[in-house]
Amino acid sequence: MERRWLFGIGLLVAVPLFAPAFVGCAAVAPKNRVLADCEDRCHRDAAAVCTESDCIRGCRFSLDRLVEREGPKVVACVAAQTTAEKGCGDRVFAECAAKVGPYANGGPPAPPAFADPDDDSDDP
């Protein structure tokens, strides 16, 4: 009987002491560093052109450039857009992403056009 009583007292003392340690160590998923840096830079540098939602969407839209560490150049290009009609949409982020990095010259040339076998324009 005495052993049960000591065990009960031990639980009453131990649970309140150690419960906060288990409750307070909830794992929090870290924020995506690449996206967070792009969004912060966009909010800071392109605030005159882009809204907060535009920055979030544009940074996610140009994620391949961010992974290649071209994010600052993309945001600088977006911030340089001063015309109101272009705004800060997907098209602006796509154009800016295509103008930076190894793809700045437009990439390789297009393949030659294939002759259409159904085209009879050669015949009189």
With cut-offs at 50, 70 and 90, classify the pLDDT of residue 88. confident
Range of the domain at 46: 33-103
Residue 14 lies in a domain: no
Residue 16 lies in a domain: no
Residue 40 lies in a domain: yes
Q: Is the pLDDT of residue 82 over 70?
A: no
Nearest to 64 by CA among 106, 35, 40: 35
Do the beta carbons of residue 70 and residue 101 sit within 8 Å?
yes
Cα pseudo-dihedral 7, 12, 18, 24, rounded to 10: 140
Total number of domains in the chain:
1
Cα pseudo-dihedral 13, 16, 22, 26, rounded to 10: 180
Residue 95 lies in a domain: yes
Q: What is the pLDDT of residues 5-51, one digit of tens each?
A: 555 665 555 555 555 555 555 566 666 788 889 899 999 988 888 88
